[in-house]
Amino acid sequence: MKTGLYIHIPFCKQKCNYCDFASFAGRESFLENYLQALAKEAVSHKNRSVQTLYVGGGTPSLLSERQIDFLADIVKRNFDSVINFAESTFEANPESLTEDKLRSLRQAGFNRLSMGLQSFNEQELKTLGRVHTAQQFSTAYQAARKAGFTNINVDLIAGVPGQTLESFLSSLTHLLRLQPEHLSVYGLQIEPGTPFFERGIVCDQLLMRQMLEQTHDLLTQQGYHHYEISNFAKPGYEALHNTHYWDNGSYIGLGSAAASYWQGVRSQNTADITDYIQRIERGETPVVFSEQLTGQAKEGESLMLGLRKLDGVELTPRQEHWFGREIERHLQSGLLVREGKKVKLSREGLFLANEVFCSFVAPFDEV
């Protein structure tokens, strides 16, 4: 059974205006104790076989070279050497990614880098609350290439307040000149609790859709494979770790707010950094939530995750039984299409995916 390992680093230099992830600015004084807690939590999962590694955040590139080495050693002592993973990804922001850190990452065995750009437009970066400049990204990107990274993902956001179709496409074409192996292009979502939400910002959905439609057309013309709603890859560079999520595979999460899915049970650690450290130091579990999906709920989640992939899913008899009526309705409305034995999102469905997905989440209509 394939299993992924996720490690959460919840520290940030500054919280972005759109971010609702479990990340915190100004808490770096907890970093050393946090890493010690990670080391202790990892022991409880020792010797489980994992094939992919993803270090996310937050901003993992805030770690020093010594801390990166310590993190890699945690993985090696409890799972395997980072270099032996089929894919080992490290998230980084341009302002905190140095040549020395890149050297440490390569020496540790990381073979994939995920860089947060979001925009090449300086005003849009300020609007988003990013602390890097476009030039800092370009410098960090070239340094990553020089360090030997041959598999780089770059994140881009469509629908930034004040963004025009022209400015978005300018960022996209600028990025294409750098030829990253993978791009994640997200439509901006305004989530409760974020500064954007508190300021009452509303996205122009029609404009955002134009941006995303042109992204699909431009990137596929350039040879990228649009394999998941927001993700594009050169052939052979599809993200193994994330694809494992969409295939509803098992994964282990370490750190505050990290989620795990193991032997059919989904669990999540406390999101509070201090609470996480204290629980680990007391020898207690950091898990604050767990559930085991069964029956229709489990099949619905598998269907929802699988439909994120543009290749679609081959329906099981149980899925046909529980969701046949909903699937037929979406086929009739044009949000889903059949291709051979598979059902997949249509081009229209790509932009209205949530209307499809909500059909597979409880409470369910009676069949």
pLDDT at 365: 63
**Which 8-state DSSP code applies to residue 266?**
E
Residues 125-142: pLDDT tens digits?
A: 999 999 999 999 999 999
Tell me the per-residue pLDDT of 141-156, one tens digit each, with 9 for 90 and over.
Answer: 999 999 999 999 999 9
- CA angle, corner 75, sides to 73 and 80, nearest 5? 105
- What pLDDT score does 366 carry? 53
Query: Do both 83 and 159 map to the same domain?
Result: yes
Measured CA to CA, the distance from residue 329 to residue 4 in angstroms comes to 35
Residue 269 lies in a domain: no
Count of structural domains within the chain:
2
Q: What is the CATH number of the domain that holds 310?
A: 1.10.10
Residue 54: CATH number of its domain: 3.20.20.70
Alpha-carbon distance of 43 to 200, in angstroms, equals: 45
Of 83-97, 164-178, 239-253, 349-363, the least confident: 349-363
214 and 323 in a common domain: no
148 within some domain: yes
Three-state DSSP at 88 gives strand
Tell me the pairing of strands 231-233 and 225-228: antiparallel
Amino acid making up residue 50? V
- Residues 109 and 227 occupy one common structural domain: yes
Provide the terminal-to-terminal Cα distance of the chain, rounded to the nearest Å.
Answer: 33
Model pLDDT, residue 367: 46
Segment 36-40 long-range contacts (CB within 8 Å, at least 24 positions apart) = 37/276, 37/277, 37/280, 37/281, 38/7, 38/71, 38/74, 38/254, 38/255, 39/70, 39/74, 40/280, 40/281
Average pLDDT over residues 277-297: 94
Structural element, H or E, at residue 122: helix 122-128
What tens digit of pLDDT does each residue of 22-66 get?
A: 888 888 889 999 999 999 999 999 988 999 999 999 999 999 999
Q: Which residues pair with 68 in a beta bridge?
A: none
Domain shared by 306 and 241, yes or no:
no
Cα separation, 73 vs 38, in Å, equals 11
What b/e readout covers 36-47, taking b as 16+ CB neighbours within 10 angstroms?
ebbbebbeebee
What is the domain extent for residue 353? 295-360
Please give the structure tokens belonging to residue 332: 């009739």
Beta bridge partners of 114: 91, 153
State pTM to two decimals.
0.95
Whether residue 70 has pLDDT greater than 90 = yes
